Amino acid sequence: MKLLTGNDLSTGDVVWWTGRDWSRHVEDAVDVGGQGEAILRAEEGARRVNVPYLIDAEATEQGPRPAHIKDRIRALGPTVRPDLTLKPADADAGAWVI
């Protein structure tokens, strides 16, 4: 599957395209399929998100899992500061990255 991601213009937060809007949680991301480029251009025009780009991901039971480790770290947060990730209470969250 293909996901659309970027960083929120104002906060810099990592965000994912949900079909209608942007979410901080990769679980909310939808497969943009062949529409990626068109959504990307429209969203670039809206100027809410910085440098949006398309990535490959795998659909899993827990939701989309980005193909590249860099985007998995973006999705979770720094692996060396579990307390600052999006899942501070989940001790196994780091394993998902690797």
Partner 1 sequence: MYRYDEYDQSIVDARVEEFRDQVERRLSGALTEDQFKPLRLMNGLYLQLHAYMLRVAVPYGTLDSRQMRMLGHIARKYDRGYGHFTTRQNIQYNWIKLADAPDILAELATVQMHAIQTSGNCIRNISSDQFAGAAADEVADPRPWAELLRQWSTFHPEFTYLPRKFKIAVIAADEDRAAMRLHDIGIQLLERDGVLGAKIFVGGGMGRTPMIAHEVKDFITADHLMSYLEACLRVYNRYGRRDNIYKARIKILLHEIGVDAYRDQVEAEFAAIRDLGIDPPLAELARITAMFAGPDFASDAPDSVDRSDPDFAVWLDQNVAAHKQPGHAIVTISLKPIGGIPGDASADQIDLMADLAERYGHDELRVTHAQNIVLPHVRKADLYAIWTALRDARLAEANLDLISDIIACPGLDYCSLANARSIPLAQKIGERFAGRQRELGELKLKISGCINACGHHHAGHIGILGVDKKGTENYQLLLGGSGAEDVSLGKITGPGFDEDGVVDAIERVTDRYVALREADERFLDTYRRVGMQPFKEAIYG
Residues that bind partner 1 (CB under 8 A): 7, 9-14, 47, 50-51, 67-70, 73-74, 77-81, 84
Could you tell me if 7 and 53 are in contact, meaning their C-beta atoms sit under 8 angstroms apart?
no
Q: Closer to partner 1 by CB, 30 or 67: give it.
A: 67
The secondary element (H helix, E strand) that includes residue 4 is strand 2-8
- Looking up tokens 């899992």 gives 65
Smallest distance from partner 1 to CB 85, Å:
9
Smallest distance from partner 1 to CB 84, Å:
6
Q: Closer to partner 1 by CB, 18 or 79: give it.
A: 79
Q: Closer to partner 1 by CB, 38 or 84: give it.
A: 84
Q: How far is it, in rounded angstroms, from Cα 18 to Cα 32?
A: 9
Smallest distance from partner 1 to CB 98, Å:
8
Smallest distance from partner 1 to CB 80, Å:
5
Could you tell me if 6 and 15 are in contact, meaning their C-beta atoms sit under 8 angstroms apart?
yes
The secondary element (H helix, E strand) that includes residue 42 is helix 36-46
